[in-house]
Amino acid sequence: MVSDMSVQDITTQDNRPSRDEAMKAVETLLRWAGEDPSREGLLETPKRVVKAYEEFFSGYNKDASAELQKTFEDIEGFDDMVLVKDIDFVSHCEHHLVPILGKAHVAYWPDEKVVGISKLARVVDIFGRRLVSQENMTRNILKCIDETLKPKGVAVYIDANHQCMSTRGVNKGASSTVTSMFCGVFKEDRDVQRRFLDMIHYSR
């Protein structure tokens, strides 16, 4: 089991700013950029940005492990990996607050608990809808599934485009970042790991 690092989970912030304070912060950034927040096209922008942030960062209000609590009792004798591939996600870089667009491939090898496949996608979304580094997101997805389902193993593979690289800085629009992490049978058995990698790269 993965137990050396804690999952970035829900935190309660007593000093969380009000909606009005957040909107005023957007106005400040607009002025800093050289704009006039009072002009016609920007009058509703602070309100829209705050509303968008509620959606972008909704993962802070959700518990990923809770999504995995409901398991199927009627599935018996299944002893192989369960893979959900090509899970689209949109996240945001914690260093520049710009989008990360990618796909996650998540597999686990059940022991006693079998969960609905949509729940694996929800776990990806919850951790994705926070400010992240891709490395931490990969680890947190794996750790959540490993600790909650206690399977024989978990594999997580993420391939994403970071707009902090493609639209600023080095401006490498065609680049992508790949991270992977394995535990249990996926780490100990190279044949199982290779089969996982072959399956996610197999063209349908």
- Helix segments in the chain, DSSP class H: 19-32, 45-56, 117-128, 134-149, 163-166, 185-188, 190-201
pLDDT tens by residue, 38-48: 999 999 999 99
Strand partners, 154: 108, 183
pLDDT tens by residue, 170-198: 666 567 889 999 999 999 999 999 999 99
Task: Show Cβ contacts of residue 164 under 8 Å, excluding neighbours closer than 6 positions.
Answer: 93, 95, 96, 98
* Residues 107 and 149 sit within 8 Å (Cβ to Cβ): no
> Domain locations in the chain?
19-56, 64-201
Looking at the structure, give the CATH architecture of the domain made up of residues 64-201.
2-Layer Sandwich (3.30)
Distances (CA, A) of 53 to 13, 23, 47, 58, 153: 16, 11, 10, 8, 34
Burial label for 15, CB within 10 Å (0-12, 13-18, 19+), is: exposed
pLDDT tens by residue, 69-92: 999 877 777 889 999 999 999 999
CA distance 147 to 1: 7
pLDDT tens by residue, 105-157: 999 999 989 999 999 999 999 999 999 999 999 999 999 999 999 999 999 99
Give the least confident one: 1-5, 51-55, 57-61. Answer: 1-5
Tell me which residues are annotated as active site: 93-96, 134, 162, 164
**What's the mean pLDDT in 27-48?**
96
Q: Token pair for residue 185?
A: 């049978």
Please state, as a whole number, how many other Cβ atoms lie within 10 Å of the Cβ of residue 5: 10
Phi, psi of 101 (to 5 degrees): -115, 125
Predicted TM-score of the model (pTM): 0.86
Pairing of strands 99-109, 82-93: antiparallel
Task: For the chain, state the CA radius of gyration.
Answer: 20
Burial label for 173, CB within 10 Å (0-12, 13-18, 19+), is: exposed
